[in-house]
A and B are shown apart, each in its own frame.
Chain A
Amino acid sequence: MKYAYYPGCSMECNAAAYELSTQAVAKSLDFELVELEDWNCCGATEYFSQDELTASAVVARNLALVAPEMDQLVAPCAACYCNLAKVDKMMGEDAEMNGKINTALKAGGLAYEAGRVKIRYLLDVIYRDFGEEGVKAKMQQSLEGLRIAPYYGCQAVRPIKREDDTEYPMQMDELFSWLGAEVVDFPVKAHCCGGHMTQISEPQAFEMIRRILQSAVDYKADMILCMCPMCQLNLDGYQSRVSSYADKEFNMPIIYFTQMLGLAFGLNPKDLGFGKELVPALPTIEAKLK
């Protein structure tokens, strides 16, 4: 299996653990992620607050870069996925915007026909294209003994309704149940991590992060699995600051779902980027895994 791959800016540095584990898991499952040549930033939320058409054209350049023989584009980051999928959908529905975006693309010698590429997020690819059978066939190590909180965040499951529920998605829940983990019924699984609010208003951002961490504590989860670099950064990178803010010592490991998947596939933690998280995950995993 081959998919065009849009890593997104975070994967280069902040989310290197997601990139490493994504590639390792792809190898185990025997699929290939062909990186778009010379891709550019998806614009996050900020570019869309400045100029809608330009932001959309910036996003569309990536869609235009998908090689003609490829028809599926995979994005691991929820924000990138959201922007790519939204712009593709908007181009299909709004002829005027479509025309303008293509005029802009043409200035760079490019073109994109709306709907040509199916944009997908990584979890959905693993869940649907490989399924229970495909995933279990690669399992070397059961995850029995671990209680995990599956955290989807917002922009992969919303606003575009695809294969999972927009408020109570289940793909990650099921994936890790197949592998023997105990998956908690996490009520805040599709709540927002706050995105870039940490840069605008810390009290607001820290409160959003606190609610998610506290819920994982309340549900006695050993750790939170996430699927977006922004979520991981907020929940892990800011955790010590949120502890001070909330006057409560949180010690909740936050790792990417692909890292846990890699462990179940018997891969070496080093090759999965373990150790890059600020709240160490391996001690908990070693203590709990049967």
Chain B
Amino acid sequence: MSVQHVAEGISPFLKELIEDTPKGERIMHCLQCGSCGGSCPNSADMDHTPRKLFAMIMANQRNEVLAANTQWCCVSCYLCTTRCPQEIPITDLMYALKRMAIAEGKSGGTNAPALAKTFTDLVDRYGRSYELGIAGLYHLLNRPVAMAKMGPMGLSMFAKGRMAILPTKIDKIDQLQAIINKARELSK
């Protein structure tokens, strides 16, 4: 089904989401079966399960959906996606909701957007990423208290030579940045 095909008579928010998600139009086939929420390792912590979120999207509840923590609880494990009987790209829809929430400054009460921004900036600058999983820079910048708490683990990782201060820089960073700038221009 093409985007044009479903564009008539549907919630504007749904239309917006479909346009921002590869194969997003599959969401139109949601059966509300709940298999996604039942599979999700984090559904217990979500404001709304993916199934409920999709119903809210159909009902055009844009603000409520973008303010929810649901998309930020998603760790991209793809279990819901491979299980969905309707082949709805649920994980990719979660990614799209994250992007739309970020664009509106909504974070569902988490620091995930700040984390994504820190990470993306590093890649843009160096071409490689910092060991985000071990915190460090991100925590220093954003959560100094949490950084202090993880002290011992950070120290052991240092002692084992598993933690770097900064990422290495690729040689052709100019080439990567030219690609990035062009892509940003096209995605506007």
Taking Cβ atoms with an 8 Å cutoff, the residues of A that contact B are 9-10, 12-16, 38-41, 43-54, 56-58, 61, 90, 93-94, 97, 100-101, 103-110, 154-155, 158-159, 161, 166-167, 191-192, 194-202, 204, 208, 211, 230, 233-234, 237-238, 240-241, 275-278
Mask: chain B, 114-138; 1 = CB below 8 Å from A; 0 = not: 0111011001000111111111001
Nearest neighbor of B21 in chain A, beta-carbon distance:
A52
Report the number of A-B residue pairs with Cβ-Cβ less than 8 Å: 216
* Contact across chains for A104 and B182 when beta carbons are under 8 A apart: yes
- Of the listed stretches B4-12, B28-36, B96-104, name the one at the interface; the rest are far from the partner chain: B96-104
A270 to B7, CA, bound (A): 61
Inter-chain contacts of A208 with B (CB < 8 A)? 41-42, 75
Inter-chain contacts of A97 with B (CB < 8 A)? 22
Contact of A230 with B183 at beta-carbon distance under 8 Å, contacts A158-B79, A192-B75 already known: no
Contact of A49 with B187 at beta-carbon distance under 8 Å, contacts A109-B175, A200-B112 already known: no
Contact of A199 with B132 at beta-carbon distance under 8 Å, contacts A46-B120, A158-B79, A167-B82 already known: yes
* Contact across chains for A241 and B153 when beta carbons are under 8 A apart: yes
A105 to B181, CA, bound (A): 10
Contacting A58 at CB < 8 Å: which of B79, B130, B161, B180?
A: B180
Inter-chain contacts of A107 with B (CB < 8 A)? 178-179, 181-182
- Of the listed stretches B49-57, B58-66, B166-174, name the one at the interface; the rest are far from the partner chain: B166-174
Nearest neighbor of B113 in chain A, beta-carbon distance:
A49
* Contact across chains for B42 and A204 when beta carbons are under 8 A apart: yes
A-B contact pairs, 8 of them (CB 8 A): A39-B170, A40-B128, A40-B176, A41-B128, A50-B116, A93-B23, A195-B77, A204-B73
Nearest neighbor of B115 in chain A, beta-carbon distance:
A199
* Contact across chains for A58 and B133 when beta carbons are under 8 A apart: no
Inter-chain contacts of B76 with A (CB < 8 A)? 45, 154-155, 195
Number of B positions contacting A (CB below 8 A): 70
Inter-chain contacts of A159 with B (CB < 8 A)? 78, 81-82, 89, 91
Contact of A58 with B179 at beta-carbon distance under 8 Å, contacts A14-B131, A50-B120, A154-B78 already known: yes
* Contact across chains for B133 and A196 when beta carbons are under 8 A apart: yes
Inter-chain contacts of B115 with A (CB < 8 A)? 46, 196, 199-200
* Contact across chains for B75 and A195 when beta carbons are under 8 A apart: yes
Inter-chain contacts of B75 with A (CB < 8 A)? 45, 192, 194-197, 208
B141 shortest CB reach to chain A, Å: 12
A222 shortest CB reach to chain B, Å: 21
Contacting B45 at CB < 8 Å: which of A15, A108, A201, A230?
A: A201
Contacting A48 at CB < 8 Å: which of B78, B95, B117?
A: B95
A160 shortest CB reach to chain B, Å: 9
* Contact across chains for A50 and B162 when beta carbons are under 8 A apart: no
List 12 additional A-B contacts (Cβ < 8 Å) besides A107-B181, A198-B135, A234-B133. Answer: A38-B170, A41-B167, A46-B132, A47-B116, A57-B180, A58-B183, A97-B22, A100-B187, A105-B179, A159-B82, A204-B73, A276-B161
A14, A41, A48, A104 interface centre (most CB from chain B within 10 Å): A41
A159 to B23, CA, bound (A): 14
Contacting B128 at CB < 8 Å: which of A9, A14, A109, A211?
A: A9
B82, B102, B178 interface centre (most CB from chain A within 10 Å): B82
A199 to B45, CA, bound (A): 16
Inter-chain contacts of A234 with B (CB < 8 A)? 133
Nearest neighbor of B146 in chain A, beta-carbon distance:
A202
* Contact across chains for A46 and B116 when beta carbons are under 8 A apart: yes
* Contact across chains for A54 and B175 when beta carbons are under 8 A apart: no
A1 to B42, CA, bound (A): 42
Contact of A53 with B128 at beta-carbon distance under 8 Å, contacts A14-B133, A14-B157 already known: no
* Contact across chains for A58 and B123 when beta carbons are under 8 A apart: yes
* Contact across chains for B77 and A52 when beta carbons are under 8 A apart: no
A119 shortest CB reach to chain B, Å: 16
Interchain residue pairs A-B with the least CB separation, the first 6: A192-B77, A107-B182, A158-B78, A46-B119, A104-B183, A53-B187
A97 to B22, CA, bound (A): 9
Nearest neighbor of A64 in chain B, beta-carbon distance:
B179
